Amino acid sequence: MSGQESAVQEKKPWRLSLDTWAVVVALLAALLVRAGVFKHIPW
């Protein structure tokens, strides 16, 4: 080292959390049901 400080930078990829994914998928499914893409989901 030449007396200079070294800083370490990490570049983290931007990611959605599991919770947020669950909300996105559920809302998308709800919108598809609302739009009539899925007419009836049986149980």
Interacting residue ranges for other proteins, rule: CB under 8 A: 4-11, 13, 17-23, 25-27, 29-30, 33-34, 38, 40-43
Classify residue 20 by its DSSP letter.
H
Q: How far is the CB of 30 from other proteins (least distance, A)?
A: 6
Residue type for 17, please? S
Least spacing, CB of residue 32 vs other proteins, in Å: 10
**Cβ atoms of 19 and 13 closer than 8 Å:** no
Of 28, 7, 15, 3, nearest to 38 by C-alpha is 28
Least spacing, CB of residue 6 vs other proteins, in Å: 5
